[in-house]
Structure formats: structure tokens, C-alpha cells
Structure 1
Amino acid sequence: MAPKTLDDQLSYLIASANRRIETELEERLRPGGVPIEQFRILEVLSENEPCAMGEIARRSLIDPATLTKIIDRMVRDNLVYRAPDPDDRRKVLILTAAEGKALYKRLSGVSSAQEKRLAEVLAGEKAAELKTLLRELLER
């Protein structure tokens, strides 16, 4: 049986929850002057550095063309820098510059606090269950 209203559609509920969570994170990052996309890039690099542009695009959920523009800006702001891939000179790797590492260290608590709040809202066990369900959905 098809959902009766928009509020009954799983895809709508997931998109709405994502929009609310992203908006909240954007608002908390605003005082630091960092757009959410730049924060996500620094987050990806903090977990896996150096990192190829394609991997950053995939993990940060940023379109590759848009990512190039954001990385250009971040290079100008001395947050990241480009280096050739030692295994394939045609590829470029992205690394975090000292200023980018300091910025991420200063702002990483924002993301951690949000994750903690979400776990509290979902009473811990439900948060773990939701992560499992979403991973299953993404694997299909």
C-alpha cells in the first residue's frame, strides 16, 4: 500500500531529518566562519590523509565540480594544499595545512556535540539501530 501523505514517505522523512541536522550544524559552524562543506572536507581529511579528490567528493557528499572550487578557496585560505600522488603523477592528493588542522581541531567539538545530542534524543540504543538500518539501506 502506498503512503497516504508526504509525511508517511520514508524518503521524505529521511530528507527532512537530514535537512534539519545539516541546518543545525551550519548554524553552529557559522560563528567560526566555516561553511559546512569546508568543515566536511576537513573532517574527511582528518580521517584519511592524504586523500584524492574523488574520495573527498564521495565521502563529503559534494559534487566533484563544486569540490574543485571549494578546494581552490581552501588552498587560497591556507587550509589545505595539493600534492602530486607519488604513485601516479597524473593524480592530485589533498592534505590539510597547519591552519586547516587548527581550524578543524577548534570546530570538531561542534560535530561531536551534535552527534551526542542526536544519540540522547534517540536514547542511545535507537541511535545505533538507526545507523544500522541506514547503512543497510545504503548498501542496496
Structure 2
Amino acid sequence: MQNQLAYLIAIVNRQLEDELQDKLRPEGIPIEQFRILSALKDGNGLAMGDLAARVLVDSTTLTKIIDRMVTAMLVYRAPDPNDRRKVLVFLTAKGGALIGRLEGVVGEQEEKLVNRLQQGKAEELTRILQTLVRN
């Protein structure tokens, strides 16, 4: 099992997520909330279904997370101007400031990872993993 590619990818993923969670803990932000903030940082807002797919969380769980983030004033919901049946989620100013701070923390993790792999290998691994991602 130690040589199975899927198993190795899962182990690396778990290690990276554990490391990231440790770095986010002082801000009191779970990884899922960090991913949501990151997905919303462009300011355009996202429908719940699109956001769920982007942050790798099922819709029911996402609704609960967004409810907590609304209470914490990190995001807000607004009707989609193009489709009144849809609700979009946007960053608040507080959420934008928080993701600005947190991106530095994540950048450090990315930099360490690239250094461990060396730049050329990191780029190659990125390309390989992108080919495995289903679109």
C-alpha cells in the first residue's frame, strides 16, 4: 500500500492540511473557511453550488459554514442580479482583510514545499497533478 500512488497522494494531502490547519489555528479559521475566503477574494461573488464545488464541500455543509461566516461578518449573501432564484456569497471588508493576512501564511507553506521539491520539480508536479484533476 505504501507504494500506491493514490495512497501517497492522500498521505501528502493529509500532512499538508494538518500543517495548514496548525498555521490557521491562531486566527481561529478552519481550512474550509480559508478556502471559502480564497474563492471569494476576487469580489465577484459566487453562487452556493459553484462555491461548494470550488472549495470541495457538499452543499449542506457549506450552508452551515456560510451561516457561521455570516455571523462572524466575514461574508454576506445577496440575490443574484441575473437570476433572482440564486443567492451569491461575497466577502465583507473584514473577510477581505482576513484573507489578505492569511495568504501570507499559506504562501510560506507553498514556498517551503517548492523549496523541498526544487523549482523545476515543483512545476512538473503541478502539471502532473493538473492532468489528474477532472474538469
Same fold (TM over 0.5): yes
- Normalising by the smaller structure, the TM-score range is over 0.9
The one of 105, 108, 114 equivalent to 1:113 is 108
Q: Over alpha carbons, which structure has the higher Rg?
A: 1
User: Moved runs in structure 1, 4+ residues, more than 3 A?
Assistant: none
Is the counterpart of residue 56 in structure 1 residue 56 in structure 2?
no
Q: CA deviation digits over 1:6-57, x for unaligned, max 9?
A: 1110100000100000110000000111111111100011146211111111
Matched, 1:40 2:35: yes
SS of 1:19's equivalent in the other structure is helix
| Secondary structure of 2:90's aligned partner | strand
Percent of matched pairs sharing the same residue = 54
Unpaired runs of 5+ in structure 2?
none
**Alignment partner, residue 127 of structure 1:** 122
Change (3 A) 1:48 1:14: farther
Query: For the aligned residues, what is the CA RMSD?
Result: 1.2
1:10 aligns with 2:2: no
User: Is 1:88 the counterpart of 2:83 in the alignment?
Assistant: yes
SS in 2 for 1:25: helix
Distance in 2 between the 1:102 and 1:139 partners? 32
